[in-house]
Structure 1
Amino acid sequence: MKTSDGKHKVAEEIIKDVDEEKQSVTYKVIGGDLMELYKTFRITVHIDTKGENNLVTWTVDYEKVNAGIEDPDTLMDFCLNVTKDIETHHILQQKA
């Protein structure tokens, strides 16, 4: 992944939980660059459907290795791009 500050980061992750009813998926980072900065790092993607519209909510839970580590704000561009890719996929499926 490439962060908004232009740096490339590698994250090895596993799918921790899939909740079809709540329309959410939780990933746990288990290796890579992020684990040098954070003791734990989990990302949950939740889809809330309202009529024909879908609202995507990203929740990031993390514990820093030390207080000098910045919050992972630079990952927001990555999350936004993934959301746009998912949206494009769904739009193309609806047109097919």
Structure 2
Amino acid sequence: MASLQVRKMETDVHIKATAKQFYEVFCSRTFQIANVCPEKIQGVDIHKGEWGSQGSIIYWNYVNEGKKGVSKDLVESIDKENNKITFKVLEGDLMEHYKSFRVTIQVLPQEKARVVHWTIEYEKLNDHSPDPHSFLQLVIHVSKELDAHLVA
């Protein structure tokens, strides 16, 4: 058996909305994401704490590759100055394949184009666990839907 280690996947999504607009939804108005793209995100509820607070726990109900999933996430860190937030998955479907799973979103204001930089850090449970390519496609889809909603 090969040694398991923390791996990383990253992607950038170009957006038209302002960095602050996009970041504020993921940080303080996370519940709105279910209204914007209900075919992929079917619910976002706060379980503990307050929206936009580090240490809060959020439940996500989502659809990925046609399958319903749930995720209980800790808002691990918030960096408002740099439009950055990190979610640590505590429980849910992802934990069937991964020992650890973190998602970091950073919205970068650029001169010509704004970019949402997604970083997924994960540790597989075993050699047969898949890399989270489909989850990466899910966050790209949600980013594009949210951007379209914000600039409409």
TM-score range, shorter chain: 0.7 to 0.9
1:10 deviates by: 1.3
Do structure 1's residue 38 and structure 2's residue 104 form an aligned pair? no
Give 2:46's aligned residue: none
- Give the AA of the match of 1:57: H
Q: Which runs of 5+ in 2 are unaligned?
A: 1-61
The CA RMSD measured in Å over matched residues stands at: 1.6
1:52 deviates by: 6.4
1:11 deviates by: 1.0
Higher RCO structure, 1 or 2 (CA under 8 Å, sep 6+) = 2
Deviates more, 1:83-92 or 1:36-45: 83-92
SS of residue matched to 1:57:
strand
Counterparts in 2 of 1:1-96, with a 5 A limit? Answer: 1-3=62-64, 5-51=65-111, 53-92=113-152
Q: Percent identity?
A: 33
- Give the AA of the match of 1:76: L
Number of equivalences = 91
Q: Which runs of 4+ in 1 moved over 6 A?
A: none
Q: TM-score, normalised by structure 1?
A: 0.83
